Every structure is written in structure tokens, then in C-alpha cells.
A and B are shown apart, each in its own frame.
Chain A
Amino acid sequence: MTDRSQLRDRARGCLLGLAAGDALGAPAENLTPAEIRRRWGRLTEIEGGGTDDTEYAIFAASLLVRHGHGLTSHDVEQAYREEIVPLATGPMRGAGFSELGTVEALRRGLEPPLTGLAHQHGWSDGLAMRAAPYGIFCPGDPAEAARLLEQDGRVSGSGEGIAGGRAVAGAVAAAMAGAEPRDVVQAALSVIPADSWTARNVVRVCEVLAAGGPRGRGAEAVEALHEAVVVRHYPWTDVAPEAVALALAAFLAGDGDVEESVTFGVSLGRDADTIGAIAGAVAGASQGEAGVPARWAARIGPVTGKCLPVVAGRHVLDTAEQLVEGL
């Protein structure tokens, strides 16, 4: 494969993996690992469509296609004002607190970074779930992927939400260049502050997996990962430091294999669709399109726009093609 065709292959694998992980994890969201095992054993077959993760990733990619490396927070803010805020009149399905809080902050006339600071969900994994296109756009350059992601992130997130997004963008950028799984996780750590909740959690899950040995993917590993990073006394699961660490743990536990990584990630429960989407994106970039099980890829059609009407009808593979054209 030429370099260019390889990048194209990895980009397609990345976004197919993201969409597949999102769809696979959707019915497991907010279930306990024990309940997931009771219902499905291992959840391996996609039951329905994807959620906000895929639609927001397509939206993020559209920003990169339009603005390239010159993308600024102002561009992102304008896109929100023109393409999201006017359509958010009725129920905003699938949107997390951070997206709704950002819409309300924009309506109150605030500008970034206050739009990401003024609501209470700055640490949402809403940015991490749509970070993959930034990694695709910057193959082999985690720092640039993280910088661009942050332009997006400052509009709707803050603090650990931005750190979580940067980590995923950096991981995908490294995977796009063929880095080994361990180096992909190192790339994620290299673009976030060591003194951050996200970094501490990523280090913790690496330690848990190292202690569990190469076969540590069963219920015991699930429990140990939960013990290491899950916030016990909190009802919401979309906490970026938690979801990103669990997704990278799944990628490591699956040794970069798409199906292994994603099914293990989804077995962790919590924000299972986002964990699946992140693990799928990183593993998909690592393995390319052929790494995504054909039966999963066959289930991925154009998105419906149920969460983000502006992207209705778009397909992740078209998005991947557009991103690669801009390289």
C-alpha cells in the first residue's frame, strides 16, 4: 500500500470502528458489568443504531474539512451558532449536559472559553467521543491533533474534558502512523498534563492491566479497572477521565484488535457507547478497515441525525474520505 492509501485505509477503519463501538455499546450504557454479562454474556453483535458519538464525530470532521489546520475556537463557535443552536428548539436527543449547557451559554451571549466553563459538565467525555477525526487529520503528529481538538474543546468543555479529548486525538494520531498499542497510549499521555485526573487514571489502568498479565480480560479485570477509576458516588457516567481511561484500557487489553478491544470496552458498562466508540476508533486506526469485523461494518449506514440534525444522511466512510482528501 502507498502511504496515502494506507492513511485512507486507517481513516476508514477508525471511523467505522468508532461507529461500530458506539452502536454496539448503546444498549449497555449505564448497565453494571454483571448485568451486561447476565443479558448477553459478551456483547458482540450490534443491535441497533449509533448515538451522539458518531454524529458529533461527523460534525467535528466537517469543521476540519472546512478549516483545516487553521481551525479556531471562533470557527467552531460560529458553526454551533449556525448549525446546532437554531435546530435545538425541541428535544435535543442524545445530547449530553455539556452540549446542552453550551447551547444555553451561547444563547446567553457568552463566548469561548466561557461557553465551556459556564456549565457544570466541562469534564464531559463529549469531546473525547468526537476526537478521532482530529487524530485522522494529523497522522503521526499527536501534538497537532491535540492542539486542533482543543480549538473545538474550548467551546463546549474545560479542564479534564479537554484533557480527555486531547488524549484520544493524540492516541488516534499515533495509531494512524502505525504505532504499537503501548506507544499509542504513551502518545495519549504525551499530550496531556501529567498532573491531571485523566493522566492519573490512564496510568492506573495501565498498572491494573500489567498486574493482571496478558490474559487479564475477564470479570476480574473488569472489576479491577472499575475499582481503579470509576467514581462510586456519582450517577452520571460520562466523566472523561473515567471513560477515556477505560477505553484506552480496552484497547490495550485487546492488544489493538478491533473486535477484542471494543467488546471488552463495552463489557465495562458505564458510558459503554462512548467507551466502545473510543476503543473502536483507536483500534480501527491501528488495524485499518479490514480490522473492523465485516458483520459490524455492514450494520453501519448513514446517520439519521437524531441527535444532530445537521449531519443527517452522512456516512462515516464519506467523512473518512473527506478528511483524507485534506491531508
Chain B
Amino acid sequence: MSGDRIRGAFAGLAVGDAAGWPAGRHRSALHAPWSRRLYRELDAFAEEHRVTTLPVPFALNQPVAPLRIGPSDDAEWLAWTALTVHRPRAEAFRELTDVRARISVATALDNLAKGVEPPASGHDNPHHFDDAAAIRAVAYGVIGRDPTEDAQVTNALDGVLGARAMAAAVAAAVASGRIGPAIEAALAVLPPGTAIGHNARAALEAARAAGDPFAAVPALDAALLDHVYSYGVGAAQTVPVALALAEAAGGELSRAVPAAACLAPVADSAPALTGALAGACGGFDAIPEGWIASARTLAGCCLPDLAGRDLIEVADTLTEGIA
């Protein structure tokens, strides 16, 4: 049974990743650079001509497959983590070349190349607070391992706490199939005096008061998102959103993920984290078949070597001997 929930965590993350609007932007990296330049020009055109008809990612003389609903950066980084989970972390990261990644990871790779080792590689890093490690921590959570060594390569402080919270929550969800123990496990590793610890409690309170994941969307926006900073992948925002919406949905992915995708500023990763938690609670079989079919095959938009890989088969490599 835990094998089904491990698959559920992986598939849930990929479904959430695919459901957020930024997935199309990430996947369009598979197109020729000029098609993305056209996209930027159309954005400028809309601004100049005051038209509200906004450009969406499009294929002009390009294959349309990358723009169909599908997984993007987060599913690929989760797969990479699962495939390298038994390797020393800095060594595994050092082997990465020609990849697209979050600012924290890109800076960490630069640091490693300059001889700056973990934990400084993740600490001397302007995006030490982002949720790159929290995404990867899902792989650690399903096998009940501490993600800290991995997290410290690319992140520090709230970024590492986010990874610990996700791993703890996923581990509890895989073990119990219930969201309650998952939330408790996450809160236990999030000190209230940190931004992520404060926000996790504020988010849970806001969502409980709203009573329903979709109803909680405006309350979460007001409680967590200051709309000041340019990149919405802060672990102190996305992990609390995931905890609060997964709880409000009673661990049901089909209720939690759509609500997370409605929070546009954090739609890059909050739906993926939400999907991982809910998927771990409800298991693989509870996820709508059509979504799994769309989300399981990796595109290679960040890690080209993973193009065409089946994420569920990757998850199964972790469960050999468990299920």
C-alpha cells in the first residue's frame, strides 16, 4: 500500500506541476529561442497598443507537443533527485551540465565550480530561501530520509526548513495515508519564529477559517503574499500554501491542486508541492487517470537527459523492496 502512496506523491507532484500556468512557459524552452523572443515582442505589443488580448505560449513552425498540458521543471528535478538519491549530494550536483534550474540551483552550481562547498554553496546564495530543495525533498520523504544534506547544497535557512517540512510531511502521509499526521510532522520541524514557521501556522489558520480549499484562496493571498518581490518560489510562501490547501482538502488532490493553481504568484511550485502532499495521502489510484496520463512523461525542458522518461517508473525504482 505504501508503494501506491509513493507513486501518488510523485504523480501528484507532476500533476500539480502541470496544472500551474508557468508549466507552459518552462516547457516552451524546448522551442527555438526565436519563438520565445516573439512572445516577448507580443507582450510589448500588448503594452504599446493597450490591448488586453494577452499572448499565450504558442508554436509557430514548431512542434505543438511542448505546449500541451504536461510536467515541467519540478517533476524533472524530482526525478533527478530520485535517480541520484544514494549518491553524495555535492558530487551529484557537480556532474550537472547544460541544465535549466532555479536561481538557487544556478548559483549553487556556480559556487561549487568555484570551490565553495556546502553548506556555503546554498547559504552564499541570493535565493537560499527558495523551494528548489523542498521539491527535491519529496524524494527523501517517500523513503523516510533526512533531506538536509541535499537541501544545503542549494539552499539555507527557510529553504532548508522547507525541505525538512516537505520530507517530514510526505513521510507521514505515505505512512498513514492521512493529512493530519503530515501537517503535524511538518509543523514539528518549522520553528514559529521563522518566516516559514510563522506563515505555515498563519496559512493553516486562514484555510481552516475559510473551510474549503477554493474558499481559502483569497485568504491565503492576504495572509502570505506581499506581492513585493519578483519571484514567487519562496519556500516560506509555497510550502505553507501546500500544507494549508492539502489540509483544507482533507488530502484530496482534486480539490487541493486546483486551488493552489489559482494563486497565480506562487503557481510555479505551490501546486506541485500541494499535489505531492495530497498524492501521498490519497495514493496513485485516487488521482484522475487523464491527469496522470498527461503528467507522467518528462519533457526534458530543464534536464534534457530526462526527456521521455516515465516519472512513475522512476518512483518505482525507489520502492523496490518496499512495496
Write the nearest CB–CB distance from A234 to chain B, whole angstroms. 5
Provide the residues of chain A in CB contact with B125, threshold 8 Å.
231
Please determine whether A232 and B110 come into contact, CB atoms closer than 8 angstroms.
yes
Q: Mark A119-137, 1 if CB is under 8 A from B, else 0.
A: 1110100000000000000
Q: How far is the CA of A101 from the CA of B123 in the complex (A)?
A: 21
Which residues of A are found within 8 Å of B106, using beta-carbon distances? 232-233
Residue of B nearest to A101 (CB): B228
The residue of chain A having its C-beta at the shortest distance from the C-beta of B232 within the complex is A120
For B127, the chain A residues whose CB sits under 8 A away are: 234
Contact indicator A117/B124 (Cβ below 8 Å)? no
Q: Are B126 and A123 in contact, with the CB atoms below 8 A? A: yes
Distance between Cα atoms of A3 and B178 in the complex (Å):
71
Cα-based distance from A236 to B127 in the complex (angstroms): 11
Query: How many whole Å from A164's CB to the nearest CB in chain B?
Result: 13
Contact B103 A121 (CB under 8 A): no
- Closest-by-CB residue of B relative to A98 is B228
A119 touches B226 (CB 8 A): yes
Residue from B123, B226, B230, B236 with most neighbouring chain A CB atoms (10 Å): B226
Other-chain contact of B120, A110, A123, A200 (Cβ < 8 Å): A200
Number of A residues contacting the other chain (C-beta, 8 Å)?
Answer: 27
CA–CA, A234 to B111, complex, Å? 13
Chain A residues, CB < 8 A from B228: 97, 100-101, 104, 119, 121
Partner of B123, one of A105, A108, A119, A197: A197
Contacts of B120 in A (CB 8 A): 197, 200
Could you say which residues of chain B place their CB within 8 Å of the CB of A110?
198
Query: Inside 8 A of A191's CB, which chain B residues have their CB?
Result: none
Question: Which A residues touch B157, using CB under 8 A?
Answer: 159
Which residues of A lie under 8 Å from residue B194 when comparing CB positions? 117
CB distance from A232 to the nearest CB of B (A): 6
Cβ–Cβ contact A104 & B226, under 8 A: yes
A118 within 8 A of partner (CB): yes
B124 x A200 contact (CB < 8 A): yes
Is B103 touching A234 in the complex (CB atoms < 8 A)?
A: yes
In the complex the two chains form, what is the Cα distance from A121 to B226 in whole Å?
A: 12
Does A241 interact with chain B (Cβ within 8 Å)?
A: yes
Q: Which residues of B contact A197 (CB under 8 A)?
A: 120, 123-124
Find the residue from A104, A117, A123 having the highest chain B CB count within 10 A: A117
Once the chains bind, are A233 and B110 in contact (CB under 8 Å)? yes
Contact B126 A114 (CB under 8 A): no
Q: Is B195's CB within 8 Å of the partner chain A?
A: yes
Q: Is A168 an interface residue (CB 8 A)?
A: no
Chain B's closest residue to A107 (CB) is: B226
How far is the CB of B22 from the nearest CB of chain A, in Å? 17
Contacts of A113 in B (CB 8 A): 193
A248 at the interface (CB under 8 A from B): no
Report B-chain residues with C-beta under 8 Å of the C-beta of A114: 193, 195, 198
Which of the listed residues A104, A110, A118, A236 has the most CB atoms from chain B within 10 Å of its own CB? A118
CB-CB < 8 A to B227: which residues of A? Answer: 104
Contact of A234 among B107, B198, B234, B236 (CB under 8 A): B107
Q: Specify which chain A residues have a CB less than 8 angstroms from the CB of B231 in the assembled complex.
A: 120
Q: Produce 1/0 per residue, B125-139, CB < 8 A to A.
A: 111010000000000
A231 and B126 contact, CB distance less than 8 A: yes
Min distance, Cβ A260 to any Cβ of chain B, angstroms: 29
Given the complex, which residues of A lie within 8 Å of B129, measured CB to CB?
120
Q: Which interface residue of A110, A114, A120, A241 has the most chain B CB atoms within 10 A?
A: A120
Partner of A97, one of B110, B124, B229: B229
| Choice from B110, B123, B229 contacting A120 with Cβ under 8 Å | B229
When distances are taken between beta carbons in the complex, the residues of chain A under 8 Å from B226 are 100-101, 104-105, 108, 118-119
Which residue of B is nearest A95, CB measured? B228
Of the residues B110, B126, B234, contact of A236 by C-beta under 8 Å: B126
Question: A117 vs B223: C-alpha distance in the bound complex, in angstroms?
Answer: 15
A11 at the interface (CB under 8 A from B): no
Beta-carbon contact of B195 and A117 below 8 Å: yes
CA distance A110 to B123 in the complex (A): 25
Instruction: Report which of B107, B124, B198, B230 forms a contact with A118, defined as CB distance below 8 A.
Output: B198
B81 at interface by CB-CB < 8 Å: no
B97 CB to closest chain A CB (Å) equals 15
A162 on the interface (CB 8 Å rule)? no
Question: B199 an interface residue at 8 Å Cβ cutoff?
Answer: yes
Interface string of B214-234 (1 = CB under 8 A from A): 000000000100111111001
Residues of A within 8 A of B229 (CB): 97, 101, 119-121
* Cα separation A171 to B177 with both chains bound (whole Å): 56
Indicate the member of B126, B229, B230, B236 with the most A CB atoms within 10 Å. B126
How many Å from the CB of B47 to the closest CB on chain A? Answer: 18
The distance in angstroms between the C-alpha atoms of A197 and B126, with both chains bound, is: 10
The answer to whether the Cβ of A61 comes within 8 Å of any Cβ in the partner chain is no
A239 within 8 A of B: yes
**Residues of the B chain whose Cβ atoms lie less than 8 Å from the Cβ of A235:** 230
Not counting A120-B129, A232-B107, a sample of 5 additional A-B residue pairs whose C-beta atoms are within 8 angstroms of each other reads A101-B229, A104-B226, A197-B124, A234-B103, A235-B230
A-contacting residues of B (Cβ < 8 Å)?
A: 103, 106-107, 110, 120, 123-127, 129, 157, 193-195, 198-199, 223, 226-231, 234, 236
Q: Which 10 A-B pairs have the closest CB atoms?
A: A104-B226, A233-B106, A197-B124, A117-B195, A101-B228, A120-B229, A100-B228, A118-B195, A234-B126, A120-B234
Give me 29 A-to-B residue pairs in the complex whose CB atoms sit less than 8 angstroms apart, sorted by A's number.
Answer: A100-B226, A101-B226, A101-B229, A113-B193, A114-B193, A114-B195, A114-B198, A117-B194, A117-B195, A118-B195, A118-B226, A118-B236, A119-B226, A119-B228, A120-B129, A120-B234, A120-B236, A197-B120, A197-B124, A200-B120, A200-B124, A201-B124, A231-B110, A232-B106, A232-B107, A233-B106, A233-B110, A234-B126, A239-B126
